Structure 1
Amino acid sequence: MEAELAALAASGATTLVGLMATEAWTQVRGRLARFLGRGEDDEVIDAELEESREELIAARRNGDEDGAADVAAEWRIRIRRALRDNPEAEQELRAILDELAPRQAAGPSVAINHNTISGGHYNAPVIMAQWVSDSAPSTAPRGPGTA
């Protein structure tokens, strides 16, 4: 169960920090402050969120990846504590994340594949792809056993 909460906290922190640098931040900051403050320290948490936002923006502007990572780590730890200390917080955070996920800007997606060719000698380029098309209409398969 602890691993699941840690993953949820990491997801929450990633979403929170991702939203800090977007226009949606002003709309979601209050809700996140209420979640983290649990109704007691909302204004204090709101001020801390805004301070973290300023630190994040400055770090990104200056190319300080460690500074940006520190902001995310700080909120990951705080969200994890909130989840550990309050059993109802898990469902509340899941609902917030489900609601906020579509608001995140779609960033570039990168997939890295490592392909290996072995067992032969090739004197020409080798193409490895899931689909290769020359836009020609396809024909019925031909060969032994086909009509």
Structure 2
Amino acid sequence: MEAELMTLASSGAATLVGLMISDAWTEVKDGIARMLARGKAIEQVARDLDVSRTELLQADGSKDEQFVAAVEGVWRARLQDLLQAEPALAEDLRRLLMGRGTPEAGPLREVHNMITGGVQYGPVIQAGRISGLAFHLPKPPGAPDGG
């Protein structure tokens, strides 16, 4: 396999794993499954993607670097095989890597958050999924004593 396609498979696997542990996954999963299946066994590819995602989330996403690298390795090998069998996949992978999504999934969207309207005296959190957090905030300056 030529070096460019091997690099593309490596980048594709890293992007795929990054998407799996992101909030964007639900938007792009079906398109990626169709892209990787190339019209064959879409359900099986979708199940394989779901298994990898579940394993990554159970391993606490990007915190277990060895496990993430292992999952990337599995998908890298799979992408290399697909690129050899289906050279047209290269263009779809390049589109995904450039943030333009897959042909079936549409473009990936960026999210920009802004906080306006005054002074914030504590943490401001904007997220798709949060679990297990507890905040113990100091009293803002000038706030009446609650005691």
TM-score range, shorter-chain basis?
A: 0.5 to 0.7
**Normalization by structure 2: what TM-score?**
0.64
* Displacement after TM superposition at 1:67 (Å): 1.6
Amino acid at match of 1:88: A
Q: Distance in 2 between matches of 1:104 and 1:72?
A: 24
How well do the aligned residues superpose, as a CA RMSD in angstroms? Answer: 2.5
Provide the residue aligned with 1:74 in structure 2.
74
Identity, % of aligned pairs? 43
- CA gap of 1:27–1:38, structure 2 versus 1, over 3 A, is same
How many residues end up aligned between the 2 structures?
106
Q: Select between 88-97 and 39-48 the one with higher mean Cα deviation.
A: 88-97
SS at match of 1:90: helix
CA deviation vs aligned residue, 1:73-94 (integer Å, no higher than 9, x gap) = 1111111111111121111221
Note the residue ranges of structure 1 that are not aligned, 5 or more in a row: 106-147
Question: If you compute each CA radius of gyration, which structure gives the higher value, 1 or 2?
Answer: 1
* Displacement after TM superposition at 1:103 (Å): 4.9
* Displacement after TM superposition at 1:57 (Å): 1.3
Higher helix share goes to which structure? 1
Q: State how 1:1-147 maps to structure 2 within 5 Å.
A: 2-60=2-60, 63-98=63-98, 99-100=100-101, 103=109
Q: Distance in 2 between matches of 1:62 and 1:95?
A: 24
CA deviation vs aligned residue, 1:21-47 (integer Å, no higher than 9, x gap) = 111001111111111111111111001
**Normalization by structure 1: what TM-score?**
0.64
